[in-house]
Amino acid sequence: MQHDFTEGEFYQANFEAAAYLTTYYSSETGNAFEGSQLLFHIDSSFSILLFLTGHITGKLLIDIGSGPTLHNALIASEYFQEIIMSDYVECNRKEIEKWLRRESGAHDWSHVSKSTIEEREEKTRSVIKQVLKCDVTQINPFHPIVWSLQTADISVMHLGNATLLKPGGTLIIIGMLKETFYTLGKYKYSCLYIDQNFVKSALQKQGFVIQKFEAKPGPDKATNIMSDFERKYLFLWHRKQVDLLYICVPVRLTGGRMKRPSVPNN
Ligand SMILES: C[S@@+](CC[C@H](N)C(=O)[O-])C[C@H]1O[C@@H](n2cnc3c(N)ncnc32)[C@H](O)[C@@H]1O
C-alpha cells in the first residue's frame, strides 16, 4: 500500500506522546507485535557504547528526534558528560521535561536501566542539558542555534546535508530496514523505505567509515499489525579525524517531502 509521507507538521498536529510511550515503551521488549526489537535496541546500544569506550571518549551526545523517549539517554549517560535531546514536536519535548522534573504521570523507564536504576536516572537527569526543537529537514536542524561544528549527516534522507558531526565524530544510526509505516492510534506514520546498501553507500560517499553493523530480523509481517519492517539494525560510523560528537539518529526518522497527511488507519 502506498503511504504519503508524515513529516514534522503532521507529527506536530497529531502525534500523541503518552500513547507512543505506552504502545512502544511499556516493557523491556517493546511492543509485542514487533518481537523483541526494543531489547535488541537496548542491548546493542550498550554493546556499542562499551565498544566505543575502548576507542574514543565521549563528551557530547545529541539525540536527534528523541520523540518522548529516554532510553538512549539512559544508556548513554554512563559514557557522556552532556546530552542534548531534541525533537520537532512540542508534546514530545514536554514529555521529556516532565520526566526530568520528576512530575507525576511521567513515563516509567526503569525497565531500560536494568540495574542501579535510581543512580542511573539521577545521572541521566544531570547530564541532559537541553531539550531542543529540531527539524532534520533543515540545513541547520537547530536553527536559530548555530553550532560551531563541522558538517556531517544526521538523517538518512538528508545524507547530502552534512551539518552537525565533527570530523572524527561518531554517528550511530539505529532503525528499521525496509519499513513503510508504523502505527500509533488511528494513524499510520510513514517511514523511509531504506535498505542496508542505501545507508552504506550514502554514508561512505560522505567520508564515513563503517565500524560496526548489527541487525536482527523483524517479526513475521503476517502477524505484525503495528509496522512492516524487515530488520532492525544498528550502524556505527566513524568520521575521519579529531574530537567527538555522538549522534543518535532516531528509529523511524521521518524526512522527505510530505504531499499530504497520512490516511487514518481504520
Ligand atoms: C518514530 S518517532 C521516534 C522517536 C524515538 N527516537 C524512538 O526511537 O522511539 C519519530 C520522531 O521523529 C520526529 N520528527 C518528525 N519530523 C521531524 C523533523 N522534521 N525533525 C525532527 N524530528 C522529527 C517525531 O516528532 C517523532 O518523535
In this predicted model, what pLDDT tens digit does every residue of 40-61 receive, in sequence order? Answer: 888 877 777 766 666 555 577 7
Ligand 1 contacts CB of residue 230 (under 6 A): no
**Angle CA(90)–CA(94)–CA(100) in degrees, nearest 5?**
150
Q: What is the ipTM of this complex?
A: 0.99
* For the CA of 63, the nearest atom of ligand 1: 6
Task: Give the three cell numbers for residue 121.
Answer: 536516572
Q: How far is the CA of 54 from the centre of ligand 1 (A)?
A: 30
pLDDT digits (tens, 9 = 90+) for 186-222: 999 988 888 888 888 877 877 778 878 888 899 999 9
Closest-lying ligand 1 atom to the alpha carbon of residue 191: 1
117: how many CB neighbours lie within 10 A of its CB?
A: 15
Q: Which residue has the higher pLDDT, 228 or 37?
A: 228
Ligand 1 pocket residue status of 254, Cβ below 6 Å? yes
pTM above threshold 0.95: no
How many A from CA of 79 to the centre of ligand 1?
23
CA 260 to chain centre: 24
| Burial letters 36-66, b for 16+ CB under 10 A, else e | bbbebbbbbbeebbeebeeebebebbbbbbb
Asked whether 87 lines ligand 1 (CB < 6 A), one says yes
65 lines ligand 1 (CB under 6 A): yes
Which amino acid, one-letter code, is at 107? H
| Placement of cell 517479526 in the chain | 219
Ligand 1: residue whose CA is nearest its atom 23 = 88
Q: CA angle, corner 42, sides to 213 and 197, nearest 5?
A: 25
Looking at residue 53, what is its pLDDT?
64
Which atom of ligand 1 is the closest one to the Cα of 182?
1
- What's the CA-to-centroid distance between 87 and ligand 1, angstroms? 6
The position carrying cell 521521518 is 254
Using an 8 Å Cβ cutoff, are 230 and 179 in contact?
yes
Query: In the CATH scheme, what is the homologous superfamily, with its name and number, of domain 8-249?
Result: Vaccinia Virus protein VP39 (3.40.50.150)
Nearest CA to ligand 1 atom 26: 67
In the predicted model, what is the mean pLDDT of residues 169-182?
A: 83
Virtual torsion, Cα 100, 103, 106, 109, nearest 10 deg: 50
**Would you state the cell numbers that stand for residue 94, as one nine-digit string?**
514536554
Percent of the chain whose pLDDT exceeds 70: 74
Does residue 155 line the site of ligand 1, with CB under 6 A? Answer: no
SS3 sequence, the chain? Answer: CCCCCCCHHHHHHHCCHHHHHHHHCCCCCCCHHHCCHHHHHHHHHHHHHHHHHCCCCCCEEEECCCCCCCHHHHHHCCCCCEEEEEECCHHHHHHHHHHHCCCCCCCCCHHHHCCCHHHHHHHHHHHEEEEEECCCCCCCCCCCCCCCCCCCCCCCCCCCCCCCCCCCCEEEEEEEECCCEEEECCEEEECCCCCHHHHHHHHHHCCEEEEEEEEEECCCCCCCCCECCCEEEEEEEEECCCCCEEEEECCCCCCCCCCCCCCECC
Q: Please, what is the Cα angle at 173 between 156 and 4, to 5 degrees?
A: 40
Domain ranges, ordered by start, for the chain: 8-249
Least reliable range by pLDDT among 23-37, 65-79, 113-127: 113-127
The answer to whether residue 242 scores a pLDDT higher than 60 is: no
